[in-house]
Homo-oligomer: A and B are copies of this chain.
Amino acid sequence: MDEVFKALADASRRSLLDRLHAKNGQSLNELCEGLEMTRQAVTKHLVILEEANLVTTIRHRREKLHYLNPVPIHQIGERWIRKFERGKLAALSELKRQLEKRDE
């Protein structure tokens, strides 16, 4: 679990997860597009995400495709949120979402 938190600590890695959340199964070079980092930097980040089991990869031809794995993220909440609190928190964020939506 330690690796998961370390992996999520960096903004670049979180934005890589965002990209995969938006479009799953991207190759390294695809994930590099539009970023101001070197490909090698992105590689390093992806390795860290893989080791944390937040990203799974499969090779297809010469490409390595990356997929987001939401399981470890889901487990985070289970550590510090009691069961009876979940409902209230969910209701709270739904309310927040509605209020923000109203201002669009």
Contacts and interface: CB of A to CB of B under 8 A. Distances in A.
Interface of A: 2, 5-6, 8-11, 14, 17-18, 21, 68, 70-71, 73-81, 85-86, 89-90, 92-93
Nearest to A54: B80
Q: Is chain A's binding surface mostly helix, strand, loop or mixed?
A: helix
A11 B11 CA distance: 19
A42 B44 CA distance: 31
Contact of A93 (B9, B17, B74, B86): B74
A70 B82 CA distance: 9
Contacts of A73: 76-77, 79-81
Contact of A74 (B14, B17, B89): B89
